[in-house]
Structure 1
Amino acid sequence: MKKIKEVLVVEGKDDTKSINRAVNADTIETRGSAIDDDTLALIEKLADQRGVIIFTDPDFSGEKIRKIVAEAVPNAKHAFLPKAEGRPDKAGGSLGVEHASPEAIRAALDHVYTETTAAPTLITHEDLMAAGLIGGAGAKARREQLGELLQIGYVNGKQLEKRLRMFSIQPADFAAAVQQIRQKEDFHE
């Protein structure tokens, strides 16, 4: 079983159980989005000692936790679980790391990103418009697909350019993902 050096920041006990079925890793649980100061201080200490990977649910609460932890620990790494992999029935209901298969967890942890605050803008607002990712019919669905293909999670149109820059997504990777989305759309027409 693969050993993860960093400590994984997760939301709860069930996330820890699912992760332990997939990899050998230590976790720290936030116990929801109301992260107390003691937990945040512990995460900061662990980040200095071993590094941390934020691995929260692909939903609103998970993104809220990710932002809180990333603000406190700017050098944190990020792993993203695609929404489809976090649903037990793949059709709706609850959503989270606790429902992911060991394979999906390992895949997410194989594609870890580190935020780069001083990264140059590689993909512009105009690129996002031209790709149909902001402003227009179907943009939200395309952003969801893009987030899964690039394994950077889902963000709204206002945050997409920032997320692409933060994780230094290269124009070639962006273009390849957009091409896949377009091919899928052409196939379904």
Structure 2
Amino acid sequence: MKLKEIIVVEGKDDTTAIKRAVDADTIETNGSAISTETIEKIKLAQKARGVIVFTDPDFPGEKIRKTISEAVPGCKHAFIEKFAAKPKSGKGIGVEHASPEAIREALKDAHQMDKEVEEVITQEDLIAAGLIGGAGSKERRTRLGDLLKIGYTNGKQLHKRLMMFQISEESFAEAIKQIIQEEQDA
């Protein structure tokens, strides 16, 4: 699988994992303190070929994603589920631990986050679905992020993420239905 877009990752180990999964070029941020020079490379890459931001499913990874989104509009974003980013042994979490199949799946599902979108899923919908402010809401948000391929987000950011990815009412309802079914089967 050859990708036109350039993939933005956090470090060398992520690049190695990406290259095991797909034929693609990468830009490494070298951590969450992204330099001006790196932002300029990402801007140039976005203009020339497009960019997919693919960071670790943790706080520093989200910080990098947010920094790039604000500086370089129009990038696509790929998310990997936390369980797929854990090493078989030891600590840590990251793209470098993911299987080639998990990486290909995440890249296939990359979305562009748009800022100016119509609200189709309301804050009230999130409360009614048990995604905010209730027992088990964090677990439900985690599962929702996995099902919709938008990554985990806290309660405050969930509404914004759903809007940015233009998640439809139908997709949201299907995911909630699946979560409820899984909870009943457990």
CA distance in 1, matches of 2:99, 2:157: 28
- Secondary structure, in 3 states, of the residue corresponding to 1:9? strand
Over residues 65-92 of structure 1, what are the superposed CA-to-partner deviations in whole Å (9 max), with x where a residue is unaligned?
00000111111100000001000138x7
State the partner residue of 1:183.
Answer: 181
Q: Which runs of 5+ in 2 are unaligned?
A: none
State the partner residue of 1:151.
Answer: 149
Choose the corresponding residue for 1:113, options 108, 111, 114: 111
Structure 2 residue identity aligned to 1:186: Q
State the partner residue of 2:11.
Answer: 12
CA distance in 2, matches of 1:52, 1:107: 17
State the partner residue of 1:124.
Answer: 122
State the partner residue of 2:38.
Answer: 39
Give the % identical residues: 59
Structure 2 residue identity aligned to 1:107: E
- Secondary structure, in 3 states, of the residue corresponding to 1:182? helix
Structure 2 residue identity aligned to 1:25: A
Q: Does 1:75 align with 2:74?
A: yes
- Secondary structure, in 3 states, of the residue corresponding to 2:141? helix
Structure 1 residue identity aligned to 2:58: D
- Secondary structure, in 3 states, of the residue corresponding to 1:41? helix
Over residues 18-57 of structure 1, what are the superposed CA-to-partner deviations in whole Å (9 max), with x where a residue is unaligned?
0000000000000000111111111111111111000000
Equivalent residue pairs, number: 186
Normalised TM-score (structure 2)? 0.98
Structure 2 residue identity aligned to 1:105: I
Q: Which runs of 5+ in 1 are unaligned?
A: none
Structure 2 residue identity aligned to 1:63: E
Structure 1 residue identity aligned to 2:10: E
Structure 2 residue identity aligned to 1:5: K
CA distance in 1, matches of 2:51, 2:108: 14
CA-atom RMSD, angstroms?
1.0
- Secondary structure, in 3 states, of the residue corresponding to 2:8? strand
Structure 2 residue identity aligned to 1:134: I
Normalised TM-score (structure 1)? 0.96
State the partner residue of 1:65.
Answer: 64
